[in-house]
Amino acid sequence: MKYKYVVVGAGLSGLTIAERIANDLNEEVLIIEKRNHIGGNVYDSYNEEGVLIQNYGPHIFHTNEKEVYDYLSKFTKWADYIHRVLSYVDGKFVPMPICIDTLNVLYNLDLDEKGMREWIDKEKVPLKEIKSSEDVVLANVGYDIYEKLFKYYTEKQWGTSASNLDSSVISRIPFRFNHDTRYFEDTYQGMPEEGYTKMCENMISSDKIKVQLNTDYKDIIDSVEYETLIYTGPIDYFYDYKYGKLLYRSLNFVTETYDKDSYQENSVINYPNDYDFTRITEFKKLTSQNIKDKTTIMKEFPGFDDEPSYPYPTKEYMDKFQEYKKDMDIEENVIFLGRLAQYKYYNMDLVVKNALEAYEKHLKR
């Protein structure tokens, strides 16, 4: 086989750069994917009841990057959707992220903005330096909120204390001094009208793109003649674990279907302190599907043994990644993209943005 460009991985990183190669450079490109589907973790499919399931957990498109929104809008129309999340704490469902309403419901208060600021000022912990995700919460809202909403959820999600996690993990969660209960504040928010898989299929509809599924790239790469490799898989696997294995957090998903119109109040409800799972998603409420008397939910159980989803942001593994990074920086004719290859916790919009930027920097003529 002979291709000028080979992409390893059919997630959003790989599909984005493959689309640009085919449609902007007018070159043929081979995508090699070990799973039996394209789309990576945004892959969705219909179950037997006709409910559109996001097979790897809820993915809500949100961005302030107009370039990313405009780019993906070439491949999908968007259904309006504003994501709101509740957390079940002390027998109550409270809005997340933390806002005035969260404190009022949780503590039976009647705060306004001034009152919330005064309440927070009394609770937050003065720290000289923010070193961890635990420090982020303590410095912003204090011990009690940390215990009720973050401590045990983080331990379930990551398998370690927030004190061991880089501050960037929880810094992604805003604290608001208003009544805004939206989970995201981004300018552009929504869901692909026909689902993520359809959007991904549209991205690679060019005849110049060939996709080979169910294939480990190492099994065939020696038989492929190519000039540039774009790699989006785990970086330690690329280098045959020469500096040791990196740790990636994974998720196990359990779906259940019920003969009822609705299972829960919101599309997503977090369970920071109860049960082994972290959250329950009800998909009809994500996609606004009109299906009567049936609904499907998904429970998420974090672990380490399944498909890698998130880089593990502890100092030990971030330092180990830097060993790989030294080799990555001197590679010729290899481009590394995405969460697994760059060992960084990207939201999907930044995955697309980085792929577009890599194309402009390394490939565009």
Tokens of 119: 């309440």
Q: Which of 45-54, 164-173, 181-190 has the lowest mean pLDDT?
A: 164-173
Pair 236, 315 in one domain: yes
In this prediction, residues 325-344 reach a mean pLDDT of 96
The band of 166, judged by pLDDT with boundaries at 50, 70 and 90, is confident
In this prediction, residues 39-49 reach a mean pLDDT of 95
Pair 29, 152 in one domain: no
The band of 301, judged by pLDDT with boundaries at 50, 70 and 90, is very high
Which of 119, 139, 171 delimits the end of a domain? Answer: 171
pLDDT digits over 52-80, tens only? 999 999 999 999 999 999 999 999 999 99
Pair 23, 133 in one domain: no
Pair 164, 28 in one domain: no
Residue 199 is inside which H or E element, if any? helix 196-203
**Does any domain span residue 186?**
no
Which of 138, 171, 204 delimits the end of a domain? Answer: 171
Pair 122, 73 in one domain: no
Mean residue pLDDT across the chain? 95
Which of 141, 171, 201 delimits the end of a domain? Answer: 171
Asked whether the beta carbons of 156 and 276 are under 8 A apart, the reply is: yes
pLDDT of the residue at 172: 66
Neighbours of 302 (CB within 10 A): 19
Asked whether the beta carbons of 230 and 17 are under 8 A apart, the reply is: yes
The band of 109, judged by pLDDT with boundaries at 50, 70 and 90, is very high
The band of 117, judged by pLDDT with boundaries at 50, 70 and 90, is very high
Tokens of 338: 């995405």
- In the block, which residue shows the tokens 């450079």? 25
Asked whether the beta carbons of 255 and 297 are under 8 A apart, the reply is: yes
Pair 347, 240 in one domain: yes
Q: Which of 80-84, 89-93, 194-198, 305-309 has the lowest mean pLDDT?
A: 305-309
pLDDT of the residue at 354: 97
What is d(CA 139, CA 345) in angstroms, rounded to the nearest whole number? Answer: 23
> Which CA distances in Å does 360 have to 25, 155, 274, 354, 364?
11, 39, 47, 10, 5
**Does any domain span residue 111?**
yes
Alpha carbon 298 to chain centroid distance? 16
pLDDT at 125 over 70: yes
What is d(CA 328, CA 177) in angstroms, rounded to the nearest whole number? Answer: 43
The CATH number of the domain where 231 resides is what? 3.40.50.720
Pair 230, 328 in one domain: yes
Pair 18, 164 in one domain: no
pLDDT at 174 over 90: no
**Does any domain span residue 91?**
no
pLDDT at 310 over 90: no
**Does any domain span residue 257?**
no
Pair 12, 127 in one domain: no
DSSP labels, 302-360: EESSSSEEEE--SHHHHHHHHHHHHHHTT-SSEEE-HHHHHT----HHHHHHHHHHHII
In this prediction, residues 331-350 reach a mean pLDDT of 95
Asked whether the beta carbons of 253 and 298 are under 8 A apart, the reply is: yes
pLDDT digits over 264-295, tens only? 999 999 999 999 999 999 999 999 898 999 99
How many residues appear in the chain? 365
Taking each helix axis from N to C end, the angle separating 113-123 and 133-141, rounded to the nearest 10 degrees, works out to 120
Residue 144 sits in which domain range? 99-171
Q: Can you tell me whether residue 365 is helix, strand or coil?
A: coil
Amino acid identity at 263: Y
Asked whether the beta carbons of 364 and 279 are under 8 A apart, the reply is: no
Asked whether the beta carbons of 190 and 81 are under 8 A apart, the reply is: yes
pTM > 0.85: yes or no: yes
**Does any domain span residue 274?**
no
**Does any domain span residue 336?**
yes
Pair 335, 237 in one domain: yes
**Does any domain span residue 258?**
no
Pair 241, 336 in one domain: yes
Pair 66, 105 in one domain: no
Number of domains present in the structure of the chain? 2
Q: Can you tell me whether residue 189 is helix, strand or coil?
A: strand
**Does any domain span residue 56?**
yes
